[in-house]
Structure 1
Amino acid sequence: MFFVIVAIGLSGFVGSAHVCDNGWRAYKNHCYWFSDDKAVFSNAVTNCFKFGSTLVEFCGKKEERWAMLQNRIKGYDLVWIGYTDSLEEGKYVYASSGETPSYFNWLKGQPHKGKTENCAAVEMTEMKWHDYPCSHPMFYICKKPAKHYA
């Protein structure tokens, strides 16, 4: 069982030297960077932008599961993802573009209504999305196209 989990978790490294920058992990046609330090939401967005990437925006469940496995291996508890309703309460959009996502994975009862929790994170114990105050420091994931797709 352990071997299977490790093999799946490490599968992101296959070929990453050719398609991703050093320290990034490959999955499908994208590269992912998992922070070693916590940051508030706005700093996480800015840090990803400096890398030529965005705070991770999931295309679907398979991608999210792969990323969450990487988070579990690193021992993260909370992870920022690239969704916010800071512009319009109750309407979560991509932090990078303001577009409405087609995929969500909110825990039942989430997101909360109100102006104090406007940024989305994955709570690793439940593997579901929660809204949190954007000022709460937590780990984050950056995402960008693999070099041969950029």
Structure 2
Amino acid sequence: MRRLIVVFLCLVFINAKNTCDDGWIGYRGSCYLFGHGLHTFTSAEQYCRQHNGHLVHVNNIEENAFLKDQMRDRKDQPRWLGITDEGSEGVWHWFDTNTLAEFKDFHPGDGGNHNIEDCAFFSNGYDYQWADVACSGNVLPLCEARSSDCEDPVVVG
């Protein structure tokens, strides 16, 4: 019963308060930083780590739609995703965890067997669908971090 009350209070608290650092945007337990400056893929990942995050992982259609809407509102340039098929062409993994990406939103003709295009970004030319590109390209970073509140709730009393 205590755990249920704590979870309920966390949900109320998260919905009532921004749980992300200044400059970050919150959505469903994650915080997103639309970073500045053009970076290669590895430089963008370092940028995100310097800001206590990682290049964005997109886990489902709702999260993808939220991020695409944010970029449309900003009339944004392309932004890196934290995904690569460098290990095996056409098999996409999240760079920082090496876990298989279950959700993908590649534009038709992208995301397949393109030997020198081992990284991906949200393409403004494709209404922010994903496109695979060379990791050496210069693109804006999009960072993600977990929301800091209620990850490991503590029961008092």
TM-score by length of 1: 0.82
Instruction: Kindly name which structure, 1 or 2, has the bigger radius of gyration based on alpha carbons.
Output: 2
Matched, 1:95 2:71: no
Which residue number in structure 1 is paired with residue 4 of structure 2? none
Cα deviation for residue 15 of structure 1 reads 6.6
Say whether the 8 Å CA contact 1:78–1:122 is kept in structure 2: yes
TM-score, scaled relative to structure 2? 0.79
Q: Cα offset for 1:51?
A: 1.8
Contact 1:16–1:26 (8 Å) recurs in 2? no
Unpaired segments ≥5 residues, structure 2 = 1-13, 152-157
Tell me the number of residue pairs that the alignment of Structure 1 and Structure 2 aligns. 137
Structure 2: how far apart are the matches of 1:88 and 1:74?
34
* Alignment CA distance shift 1:103-1:89 (3 Å): same
Q: In structure 2, the residue corresponding to 1:57 is in which secondary structure? A: coil
Whole-Å Cα distance in 1 between the matches of residues 16 and 124 of structure 2?
A: 25
Q: 1:149 to 1:32 in 2, by over 3 A?
A: farther
Q: Which runs of 4+ in 1 moved over 6 A?
A: 14-17
Tell me how far 1:112 sits from its aligned partner: 4.0
CA apart distance, 1:87: 2.1
How many percent of aligned residue pairs carry the same amino acid? 23
* Structure 2: distance between partners of 1:87 and 1:93: 9
CA distance in 1, matches of 2:95, 2:150: 22
SS where residue 147 of structure 1 aligns? coil
Q: For residue 47 of structure 1, what is the aligned residue in structure 2?
A: 47
Matches within 5 A, 1:77-116: 77-116=77-116
List alignment gaps of at least 5 residues for structure 1: 1-13
